[in-house]
Chain A
Amino acid sequence: MSKHALVQIQKINKFYGSNHVVRDLTLDVREGEFLTILGSSGCGKTTTLRMVAGFEQPTDGKIFVGGVDMAEKEPYERDVNTVFQSYALFPHMSVFGNIAYGLRMKRIPKKEIRKRVMDILDLVQLGGFERRMPAQLSGGQKQRVAIARALINRPKVLLLDEPLSALDLKLRKQMQLELKRLQRKLDITFIYVTHDQEEALSMSDRIAVMHDGMLEQVGVPKEIYEAPASKFVATFIGETNLFEGMVSAVDGDAVSVAVESGTICGRAEGFQKGEVVAVSVRPERMRYSTSPVKGFTIQGVVREQIYVGSVLKSIVVLPNGHEIKLERLAGDVLPMDGPVYLSWQPQDARLIHPRDQEVYHAVETAVME
């Protein structure tokens, strides 16, 4: 089966007055995939989702679902269903009434409605709850009802707007697994909006990172984590240390970058001497030694070590005051307050081209969560 694009979002823009909330967004969602739109609040991710659902109209640009232009389609004419952040259960209807609502309005025979509702209740593990009212349900149960209600119409695409944000941590983890299981079982395309990067990494086939109304990067979780395309993606997904500097030497794919505190190494292609770049190194890839490593000259002082069970988190302070974060396996203790040299395998550093609009200071910054 060819995995062609089921939802095509083409160069859409959305203005609220003079507020430009979605900028030139183009994104294809493939049939049967679990795509997460990830971003902080106010980045335009929910607006994008609402435009696909039809609750908002793009100021310009087009959206296609299954090849059909959605511009003239009302929400009730679209083959997509939504799970709302607030669940939006109908308070005056029972669980059964909520789930059956869409079918009843389509005048589907009572018997079939009953069967389909019962089947889907089993699917979301709410068998026996059909007569409860929404006010009598817990948050997790409401969540399941909302999902069942959206799935009963057998939509081509299910849109989920931060559906787990109101649940507590434990329940959230459990629901993540369940959602993933449901999606695989039903083979429905999910577009999932969240601000939680861990949730995005663990559930998605692909992640689309949004920032300030723009799409920063689209890719599988591993790509997003290991090869961030922008400074924002590097810092938003997981923890990282960012250095900013200038390419001082290129030798094949080995690149040396001069930063304020010294010289560092990375492995990348397509960079030229003299170019201004950012270098991202994940804390768990950081290494230290008491003597300089070839290609690296940055030196710092161990400031703090925090033991968190599986790993030991350390903070190294550079001469200019910036803090670098390290993560090592527990047990491997650094000399407190002693000078250390920082290094990493060149392939563990990610070199990032600056964006035009990003103001550059030729200094290194360590960004911590």
Chain B
Amino acid sequence: MRRKKSERLRRRAGAVYCGLIYAFLFLPIVVIVVNSFNATESKPYLSWKGFTFDWYGRLLQNAALLDSFRNTLLLAAVSTILSTIIGTIAAVGMFKYRFRGKSVIDALLYIPVVIPEIVLGIALLTLFATVNIPRGMLSLVLAHVTFCIPFVIFNVRARLDGYDQSIEEASMDLGVGRLKTFFHITLPVLAPGIGGGALLAFTLSIDDVIVSYFTNGQTKTFPLKVMESIKSGVAPDVNALSTLILVFTVLLVVLTQSGLIRRLRRKR
């Protein structure tokens, strides 16, 4: 009886503890969402002046902000596609073939993952400045693809663990060439790993501050726009946009997750 009681107590303590951690994680989000409804007009937009939906409307008139958001989406989309293509075929090649210099590539892959982002940022900045690559969307894409590739490769590699290479041989054996085999067999089987890698690349790109900060030139991404506005106080329309992004991504994940579950059920 006493044991049961202490067990229940321990459970409750654990739940409270987790609740506190989640509160810690979500607290700034709550601040952002609440401030997106703040009717204040004076910088730095901190004091609460009543509830309003105005900022969501005014967001549509803030061309500079929308522009930066468009840049971010474009940058993330292009970087994701490029890094996913390069990373996927690289992971497959590194899994299948033995060649000289493989360990060098392996080591180079970990560099963007472990070194502080600022080092990659300034290293790319010095390179771009020296070889005269114009700073802007192009340099941003080059930089973002660089730090996304390793994560795509690691994701696809995880999927390749336990991958039976003889299915490719079986395909060739049935009269299908190497390239067609890659598209009809290798790619579909690796799809979950590739999708996970692409999602991670997209997230990293959309959230990146530091590398973009050094390589952007005049092109402003959404995070850089935020950084700019911090000195004078972040306006509630930025909060409104952040809230919309958050709601959108959560909805997207919930929809895909539940859709996935439904599809799995149907298969059974």
Contact = CB atoms under 8 A, between A and B. Distances in A.
Interface string B214-247: 0000000000000000000000000000000000
B177 interface: yes
Given A55-B169, A75-B169, A92-B189, A153 B175 contact: yes
Given A90-B185, A92-B188, A92-B189, A105 B167 contact: no
Interface string B195-213: 0000000000000000000
B174 to A, nearest CB: 3
Interface stretch (A81-89, A164-172, A283-291, A326-334): A81-89
B173 A105 contact: no
A53 interface: yes
Given A84-B166, A88-B164, A89-B167, A76 B177 contact: yes
Nearest to B189: A92
A84 to B, nearest CB: 5
B255 interface: no
Contacts of B185: 90
A102 B169 contact: no
B146 interface: no
Contact of A74 (B167, B172, B188, B267): B172
A82 B175 contact: no
B189 A91 contact: yes
Contacts of B188: 92
A106 B184 CA distance: 13
A82 B189 contact: no
Nearest to A101: B174
Contacts of A144: none
Nearest to B190: A92
Nearest to B165: A88
A347 to B, nearest CB: 47
Contacts of A55: 169, 172
Contacts of A101: 171, 174, 176, 184
A150 interface: yes
Given A91-B189, A92-B189, A153-B175, A105 B170 contact: no
A53 B175 CA distance: 11
A45 interface: no
A36 to B, nearest CB: 20
B172 A75 contact: yes
A88 B166 contact: yes
A105 B182 CA distance: 13
Nearest to B175: A76
A164 to B, nearest CB: 16
Contacts of B11: none
Given A82-B173, A92-B188, A150-B173, A105 B166 contact: no
Interface in B148-179: 164, 166-167, 169-177
Given A90-B185, A92-B188, A105 B175 contact: yes
Nearest to B167: A88
A289 B184 CA distance: 70
Contact of A105 (B176, B189, B191): B176
A259 B87 CA distance: 69
Interface in A52-71: 53-55
B169 A84 contact: yes
A325 interface: no
Given A86-B164, A92-B189, A105 B174 contact: yes
A76 B172 contact: yes
B180 interface: yes
A81 B174 contact: yes
Given A90-B189, A91-B189, A149-B174, A105 B184 contact: yes
Contacts of A86: 164, 166
Given A90-B185, A90-B189, A91-B189, A153 B166 contact: no
A53 B267 CA distance: 35
Contact of B174 (A91, A92, A102): A102
Contacts of B189: 90-92
A244 B185 CA distance: 56
Contacts of B177: 74, 76
Which of A85, A90, A150 counts the most B-chain CB atoms under 10 A from its CB?
A90
A82 B174 CA distance: 8
Contacts of A105: 174-176, 180, 184
Contacts of A77: 175
Interface in B51-88: none
A81 B189 CA distance: 22
B194 to A, nearest CB: 13
B169 A82 contact: yes
B25 to A, nearest CB: 37
B174 A153 contact: yes
Contacts of B167: 88-91
A82 B176 contact: no
B180 A81 contact: no
Interface of A: 53-55, 74-77, 80-82, 84-86, 88-92, 101-102, 105-106, 133, 149-150, 153
17 contacts: A75-B172, A76-B173, A80-B173, A86-B164, A88-B169, A88-B170, A90-B170, A91-B167, A92-B188, A92-B191, A101-B174, A101-B176, A102-B174, A102-B176, A105-B174, A105-B184, A150-B174
Given A80-B173, A92-B188, A105-B175, 19 more contacts: A53-B169, A53-B173, A54-B172, A74-B172, A76-B173, A76-B175, A81-B174, A86-B164, A88-B166, A89-B167, A89-B170, A90-B167, A92-B189, A101-B176, A102-B175, A105-B184, A133-B267, A149-B170, A149-B174
